[in-house]
Amino acid sequence: MNSTPAGARGLTTTQWLVCIIAAIGFAFDIYELLMLPLIIGPAIKALSGGAVQELVQGGMSLADATASFNPGGPNYLHWARTLFFLPAMVGGVFGLLGGYLTDLLGRRRVLTFSILLYAFAAFGSGYVTNLSQLLILRCLVFIGVCVEFVAAVAWLAELFHEPKERESVLGYTQAFSSVGGLMVGGVYVIIAEHLANSLPAIHGGHEAWRYMLMSGIIPALPLIVIRPFLPESPIWSQKKAAGTLQRPSIAALFSPELCKTTILTTLVFASSYGFAFGAIQQLPQVLRGPKGHAAILATAQAAEEKVKADAQAAGKPAPSPVQLKIAGANATQGAISRVSLYQEVGGLIGRFALAILAARILSRRLLMRIFQIPAVIIVPALFLWISKSLTNPDSLTMIKLGIGLAGFFVVAQFSFWGNYIPRVFPVHLRGTGESFAANIGGRIIGTAAAWFTLTFAASVPPSPAKIAVVAACVAGIYGLIGVVLTQWLPEPSEQDE
């Protein structure tokens, strides 16, 4: 394959198709992952009816049973940490198998089926009737997401041979992950504030979180059209045809030559995810709920009053408590989604900044530290400040700016790994190596930060301020571990295999 730099000849039609599908996949990977912090509150509340009745039958008062499923309540935290961590763990395990299959069966085939899996599982999530069903489908979503990421990065790294071209392609296509983050916030605002009541009812209601889950079907649509035109990785195909493709093996990752690389990439990858899931992704849990941010609570109350006023002006019966509850919940989600948009704008800028710096800074350690060190200072400081600012309505503006800055330094780190890992593992272990680091490190050890935050923040009565304090501590610990271990992160060879 011609390895002339992209700037000299541009991309071929086939290369553009591959980049487009990979970018769509990256965008919806993050779209699906970042959807959970936004919908988890109303979803748990809406799907907890059966569990509340069981608690009442067991002797608990209806008020206490219902309160336990409010943000920060014990049952809410149990399901929140389960929905954050268990799908990530299942996705990590199956994602590791997916990395093996990527090396065994080819990049294109595995990527295609992984996107279809998470798209249709996400669509089905909109029809769940209890929390167990939502948990099962979220596990399927994570399996698809974890496998897709590994297959797409290995595919791109092998389609573009010339180092600078490859760095640019991996950097800019992964920047679309933050486009997915922008989409998830923007789409939820649109659904919650404008579309929910005009969409077909699901189980007799118009809850915005259900339509949001169903929107995950979108990436499957262009894939179905473009799939016949997508090529396999040329390097993988040539080695497969020549019979020189070595059989992938997880054990080979711990050979004397690769053991240090495998362990360090896994742990530092986990550090990057710890920032995100231990703190940044918990911000919606801090802002919502009866003791959440004053400005968010005011938005929900205003939405309920508007529904009452509109019904009265139209001469209609007074809205039911359920209708008022849905109106307040949708308004809350819209307001929180607007805050999340700042994080994703910051993350998008950070990804592009890393893509630019990756082609200019030779040391991968230095490149990582440019984003790591500010993150380990900014994220804990921000959440400690938020814990003391929830009662001040005017503090929401500063929270938006702060979370945008945190997103810049944290989200950019995710693009780093897509550039780094393909250069430190050989071709026959590229998918397996990346899968191990991303899924065991990122999806399991890293996402466990959410479990730690929500577990240590559990309290009666619920306390969003406590969640913010614990989030600051968890993010700080993960971040410090990453900064220290980066000192020994191997620098990739300039030689291409």
Q: Give me the pLDDT at residue 244, please.
A: 63
Q: Give me the pLDDT at residue 270, please.
A: 95
> pLDDT: is 107 or 272 the higher one?
272
Give yes or no for residue 139 having a pLDDT over 80: yes
Question: If you average pLDDT over residues 419-431, what whole number do you get?
Answer: 76
> pLDDT: is 62 or 496 the higher one?
62
Q: Give me the pLDDT at residue 1, please.
A: 39
DSSP 166: H
Q: Give me the pLDDT at residue 246, please.
A: 60
pLDDT-derived band at 2, boundaries 50, 70, 90: very low
Q: Give me the pLDDT at residue 497, please.
A: 44
> Would you say residue 37 lies in a domain?
yes
Give yes or no for residue 365 having a pLDDT over 90: yes
pLDDT, tens digit (0-9, with 9 covering 90-100), for 18-51: 888 888 878 887 788 778 888 888 899 889 888 8
pLDDT, tens digit (0-9, with 9 covering 90-100), for 449-493: 988 998 898 776 778 899 999 999 999 999 999 999 999 999 987
> Would you say residue 34 lies in a domain?
yes
**Closest residue by Cα to residue 17 from 336, 230, 238:** 230
> Would you say residue 1 lies in a domain?
no
The contacts of residue 313 (CB under 8 Å, 6+ apart) are none
Mean pLDDT of the chain: 83
Q: Give me the pLDDT at residue 114, please.
A: 83
**Which tokens in the block code for residue 302?**
């205003």
Give yes or no for residue 427 having a pLDDT over 70: no
Domain that holds residue 233: 11-488
Question: If you average pLDDT over residues 200-223, what whole number do you get?
Answer: 85
The reported pTM is 0.74
d(CA 425, CA 443): 20
Q: Give me the pLDDT at residue 6, please.
A: 42
pLDDT-derived band at 494, boundaries 50, 70, 90: low
Question: If you average pLDDT over residues 182-195, what whole number do you get?
Answer: 82
- Please say whether the beta carbons of 209 and 39 come within 8 A: yes
> Would you say residue 6 lies in a domain?
no
> Would you say residue 38 lies in a domain?
yes
Give yes or no for residue 337 having a pLDDT over 90: no
Average the pLDDT over each of 143-157, 401-415, 477-491 and give the range with the smallest value. 143-157
For the chain, counts of helices (H) and of strands (E): 21, 0
Give yes or no for residue 159 having a pLDDT over 80: no
| Token pair 């009737």 in the structure block, residue | 129
When divided into structural domains, the chain yields a total of 1
Q: Give me the pLDDT at residue 428, please.
A: 65
What CATH number is attached to the domain comprising 483? Answer: 1.20.1250.20
Q: Which of 83-97, 122-136, 159-173 has the highest mean pLDDT?
A: 122-136
- Please say whether the beta carbons of 159 and 2 come within 8 A: no
Residues 155-181: b if buried by 16+ CB within 10 A, e if exposed:
bbbbbbebbebbbbbbbbbbbbbbbbb
> Would you say residue 3 lies in a domain?
no
Q: Give me the pLDDT at residue 228, please.
A: 65
Give yes or no for residue 370 having a pLDDT over 90: yes
pLDDT, tens digit (0-9, with 9 covering 90-100), for 283-311: 988 998 778 899 999 998 898 888 888 88
> Would you say residue 263 lies in a domain?
yes
Question: How many Cβ atoms are within 10 Å of 229's Cβ, its own excluded?
Answer: 11
> Would you say residue 336 lies in a domain?
yes
Residue 239 burial class via C-beta count within 10 angstroms: exposed 0-12, middle 13-18, buried 19 and up = middle
pLDDT-derived band at 3, boundaries 50, 70, 90: very low
pLDDT-derived band at 54, boundaries 50, 70, 90: confident
pLDDT-derived band at 7, boundaries 50, 70, 90: very low
pLDDT, tens digit (0-9, with 9 covering 90-100), for 213-265: 998 888 777 777 776 677 777 777 777 777 666 656 778 889 998 999 999 99
